[in-house]
Amino acid sequence: MTTALRRLRNYIDGEFRDAADGRTTEVVNPATGEPYATAPLSGSEDVDVAMAAAEAAFPAWRDLIPAERQKVLLKIADRFEERAEELIAAESENCGKPIALVRSEEIPPMVDQIRFFAGAARMLEGRSAGEYMDGFTSIIRREPVGVCAQVAPWNYPMMMAVWKFAPALAAGNTVVIKPSDTTPASTVLIADIIGSVLDELGHPRGVFNVVCGDRETGRLMVEHKVPAMASITGSVRAGMQVAESASKDLKRVHLELGGKAPVVVFEDTDIAKAVEDIATAGYFNAGQDCTAATRVLVQESIHDEFVAALAKAASETKTGAVDDEDVLYGPLNNANQLKQVKGFIERLPAHAKIEAGGEQVGEKGYFFAPTVVSGLKQDDEIVQQEVFGPVITVQSFTDEKQAVEWANGVEYALASSVWTKDHARAMRMSKVLDFGCVWINTHIPLVAEMPHGGFKKSGYGKDLSAYGFDDYTRIKHVMTSLDG
């Protein structure tokens, strides 16, 4: 007996719609490996209609006083709390994530982030007016950029949607967002929540739109003539393609791409505490996090002790069913990602040693065991390239100079951490580590008030914080003659 698949739909100009040409794609639950829904495979006509809706809604939304936009965002945050169990269920099915962890680790920060940007909506000030030429006064206007084309990833589809729409809407922009083709369910539910709030408060229905689809749909959005800005969280390859496409009409671009975070552990570290925290930060969300603590550099004097402790922690870390409250993480998101992680393990050089894990687990779904690999060299593929799975690599360094050289010796530059009791060393390392974030004796905490974003091939622009809000505004100089 075949179970009917749930039908997800685009949300455009306040209405749920199928793709204009009727095309769909199946959506698979990664915990089971079985399809549970269909979603639109949107084409150029769908993108045109969504962009037209956002463009038409922009003037009225732009011209609202900030306090009114704040009211909308605050009500959206309240509605997220009211409908939290629906969001949790959608995200768990989207990603195979443990229900308890979505409830405790994703809903509270998302609500907080929306409320933070609700406050930021009222902080559109410029520098003080003044006379810089005799007889003239200059003022600065902070304005929204316009329609924003946004592409969210599959690792945190719900939270990354919040990171994109919240600052954009707060600043007075309108939005067309595309979720990943493997994880559209929670974004479609978010559209229902935001749409109901906009309707209740009497605001234009085209302020927020969701277009489901694949890479081609995303390309059509980025290359469309309407958006003034394109924002993507995704792979380096995808970011480069977006930057190239956006360059054709000089769109503003916001890119949050891959990471290969170094975790530098010095010999004076509390090994037990460091191992506990690093294992959690490395395996959480199956390591599918651009900031995950998956590239550990350990001073040689404590290397063997550290590796043994980390392998033990890995063997005690549990992955499994969404309703099991003892698991730390669920499956990899899709079959292609499972294949990629397996490929890294299969291609390990002869000098590498698998200390724990290294294999797929479970009879169904895309689960992979918590893995530790030691004996690696700086130029090994698994050290240089993002695995995006529950795999922690370990290298042994001799001194601070070598630690810095190896930590910085990758193409990514998103996040890093330093583990030491030596305050001066921690300060030196935080200065020279070439990453957008440096944690000291911790790894992975984020707060709405602080920026998240990297350098080099990790992209440019910031999420969260006032800096993330600024990215969705433009600066205008207005000069007036004092002669009347």
Q: Which residues are catalytically annotated?
A: 256, 290
CA contacts within 13 A on the Cβ side of 379: 0
CA distance 472 to 140: 16
Q: Which residues contact 75 (CB under 8 A, 6 or more apart)?
A: 197, 200, 201
Cβ of 363: how many Cβ atoms within 10 Å? 6
Closest CA relative to residue 318, chosen from 253, 258, 390, 255? 390
Q: With beta carbons less than 8 A apart as the criterion, state whether 88 and 157 touch.
A: no
Closest CA relative to residue 111, chosen from 67, 157, 64, 158? 158
Closest CA relative to residue 191, chosen from 7, 15, 19? 15
Closest CA relative to residue 80, chosen from 164, 197, 172, 171? 197
Cβ of 119: how many Cβ atoms within 10 Å? 16
**Sign (positive/negative) of CA torsion 413, 415, 420, 421?**
positive
Q: Which residues contact 275 (CB under 8 A, 6 or more apart)?
A: 306, 309, 310, 313
Reported residue count of the chain is 484
Q: Tell me the C-alpha to C-alpha distance, in Å, between residue 340 and each of 51, 94, 336, 379.
A: 35, 20, 6, 19
**Strand pairing category for 459-460 and 473-481:** unpaired
Q: Assign residue 155 a region: left if phi > 0, alpha if psi is -120 to 50, beta otherwise?
A: alpha
Q: With beta carbons less than 8 A apart as the criterion, state whether 174 and 55 touch.
A: yes
